[in-house]
Amino acid sequence: MQVVGIDREGRNRGPDPAGLRLRPPHHRVDRRAVAWWRTRLLLAAAVPAGVLAVLGALLGPARFWLLVAGAGVAAAGLAAGLGLPAWYYRVHRWEVTDDAVYVRTGYFWVDSRIAPMSRIQTVDTERGPLQRAFGLAAVTVTTASAKGALRIEALDHEEAAELAEQLALATQKTPGDAT
């Protein structure tokens, strides 16, 4: 069976030289990702809500409206922090095969991408302060794509280091010029 490349408009681009198919990846991110995403969302809402609350406490005439706005930001942040991380965990997937890296991400718009091993240029890991607190890391796979790098977030930090090493070795063994 010949695999055919399809562009964004659904037109046939001819045979896909790598023989790759866009399919759902198999692996979930680490379960601790839910708590990490929740904490990020709650912190992102707490700062502006806190600023509005302080301003509301300090300013006389605008006090009521600043407090209402602060409460609205806090309520929206709480709703997002409680609902979105579990939803994101169900969507976010990744997989590495001998031929490619598969990634699926998104909240409302789901983005599924494939990076053939022959197109990978660099592999990076990242651990910010909050990621370190949760024992997580991210792997970024940079390719010769106009769409940009593939990012696998919320992996166990040891698994991320092993994955980066595995990808670096696999790309060295894969023929091609990564362009």
Residue spans of the domains in the chain: they are: 35-87, 94-179
pLDDT at 107: 79
Query: Among 80, 78, 115, which residue's Cα sits nearest to residue 100?
Result: 115
**pLDDT score at 177:** 60
pLDDT tens digits for range 34-44: 999 999 999 99
Best CATH choice for the domain 94-179 from the list 3.40.50.2000, 3.40.50.10310, 2.30.29.30, 3.90.1150.10:
2.30.29.30
Q: How much is the average pLDDT of 141-163? A: 90
Residues 155/36, Cβ–Cβ less than 8 Å: no
CA distance linking residue 171 with residue 115, whole number of Å: 11
Question: Dmax of the chain from CA atoms?
Answer: 73
Q: What is the mean pLDDT of residues 73-86?
A: 93
Q: What DSSP designation does 3 have? A: -
Each residue of 96-125: pLDDT tens digit? 988 889 999 987 888 888 888 888 899 999
Q: Looking at residue 16, what is its pLDDT?
A: 47
Contact indicator for 101, 120 with CB cutoff of 8 Å: yes
Phi first, then psi: what are they for 17, rounded to 5°?
A: -65, -30
Which stretches of the chain are DSSP H helices?
A: 33-58, 63-91, 129-134, 157-173
Q: With a cut of 60, say whether residue 179 has pLDDT above it.
A: no
CB 81 within 8 A of CB 147: no
Q: Which amino acid is at 79?
A: A
The pLDDT, as a whole number, for residue 12 is 41
SS3 54: helix
